[in-house]
Amino acid sequence: MKGFDTSHHNSHPIQWSASVRAGYSFVFQKATQGTGYRDPKFAGDFAEASGPG
């Protein structure tokens, strides 16, 4: 099983469909760092990684 992690440090937009075609089946997504930082890319990445519907 292959997966990867993502955060605001990654190139955007992330090519989710290409990741699936390459055999990736899961992703770890960074949402926060401590109590003072929220990843501004998290909500969009989460929605896109979740797929349609």
Chain segment 1-53, per-residue pLDDT in tens: 999 998 888 777 888 889 999 999 999 999 999 999 999 989 998 998 887 64
Q: How many CB atoms lie within 10 A of CB 16?
A: 16
14 near 45, Cβ under 8 Å? yes
Amino acid type, 35:
T
- What backbone torsions phi and psi does residue 22 show, to the nearest 5 degrees? -80, 0
This prediction has a pTM of 0.74
Helices (H) and strands (E) in the chain, counts: 2, 4
